[in-house]
Structures are given as structure tokens and as C-alpha cells.
Amino acid sequence: MRRLLGLAAILLIILFGLSFSLLNATRVDVDYYFGAIGMPLSLALVAALIVGAVLGVLSALGVVLGKQRELRRLRKRVRDSEKELSELRRLPLKDNH
């Protein structure tokens, strides 16, 4: 049943994409710094979506890598603290009497 729902979702996405392409088949000129290129509007929109997604992932990558570095540092600090605590527990207690 789950596989059938997944297949239905994929087919629905494909049909949506095809209808989107047919409705937006008008050619547009996309100007960029080094020239211009003519392409269907649907392709230009999909390309803009992909470029935006890639830029978003790249901008978030710095934050993710920084958090991973901080996590490694904190885990090392916890290991060191647990080791120190273990060593302190092994020390004999002083009797103050």
C-alpha cells in the first residue's frame, strides 16, 4: 500500500510538472552578465529554483559545519570531565576526626 501511494505521488508530481511546462512554454530571454539566452519560461523558473536551492544549501553549510565543530569540542569536554570525575571517585576519602 505504501509503495502504491509513493508511486501515485510521483505520478502526480510528474503530471504537475508536465502541465506546468505546457502552461509556461512561452520563450523568454534570460539576461546574465556575459550575454543572454532564450529559453522556455518554465525552464527559467526551474533553473532559478535550483540555483536558489544550491545557494541556500551552501549558505547553511557554514552554520552546520560550525555547529558540528562545536559539538565535537563539547563532546571532548564531557569525556574529559567524566574521566576526571572517575579519577576523583577513586581517591580515598579523608577522615577529618
Confidence bin at 97 (pLDDT 50/70/90):
low
Q: Cell numbers of 2, please?
A: 505504501
Q: Cell numbers of 45, please?
A: 523558473
Q: What is the pLDDT of residue 94?
A: 76
CB 29 within 8 A of CB 36: yes
Q: What is the pLDDT of residue 76?
A: 97
Q: What is the pTM of this model?
A: 0.60
Q: What is the pLDDT of residue 92?
A: 84
CB 66 within 8 A of CB 75: no
**What is the mean pLDDT of the segment spanning 26-32?**
90
Digit-coded pLDDT (tens) for 51-95: 999 999 999 998 999 999 999 999 999 999 999 999 988 888 776
Angle made by CA atoms 80, 82, 86, in degrees to the nearest 5 = 115
Q: What is the pLDDT of residue 93?
A: 79
Q: How far is CA 30 from the centre of its chain?
A: 28
**What is the mean pLDDT of the segment spanning 39-61?**
92
